[in-house]
Amino acid sequence: MSFKLFLKAIVFLAILFVMLYVGMNNSQTIDFNFPVAGTTAKNPIRESAALIYFGMFAIGVLAGAVLAAGSGKGGGSKSSSSSKAK
C-alpha cells in the first residue's frame, strides 16, 4: 500500500514540476475568456498566463480530491452483488 502512495506522490510532484516550468516560461499577460461562467464574456480576466494556469490546475486538483474522497468505500456493494451471482 505504501508503494502505491509513493508512486502517486512522485506523479503529483512531476505534474507540479511541469506546472512550474510552464509558469516560468509563460509570464506574459493574457486575456482569459470563459463565456460559460458569464462574467468573463464581457470583461475577460487579464492576468499572467502562469497565474491562470495555476488557477486551472488548482481547481482540477481540488475537484479530483473531492471526487476521490466522495467515493469512499462504495466498492463493497459491487463485490457483494457479484458474490451473490456465484
Instruction: Note the pLDDT tens digit of each residue in 60-80.
Output: 888 888 888 876 665 554 545
CA nearest 52: which of 66, 36, 33? 33
Give yes or no for a contact between 30 and 47, defined as CB atoms under 8 angstroms apart.
Answer: yes
46 - beta bridge partners? 31
Give yes or no for a contact between 1 and 23, defined as CB atoms under 8 angstroms apart.
Answer: no
What is the pLDDT at residue 83?
Answer: 52
Could you tell me which residue, 39 or 7, shows the higher pLDDT? 7
Average pLDDT over residues 8-28: 84
How much is the pTM? 0.57
Domain chopping of the chain, boundaries: 18-52
What is the pLDDT at residue 16?
Answer: 84
Which long-range contacts does 60-67 make (Cβ < 8 Å, 24+ apart)? none
Q: Which amino acid is at 39?
A: T
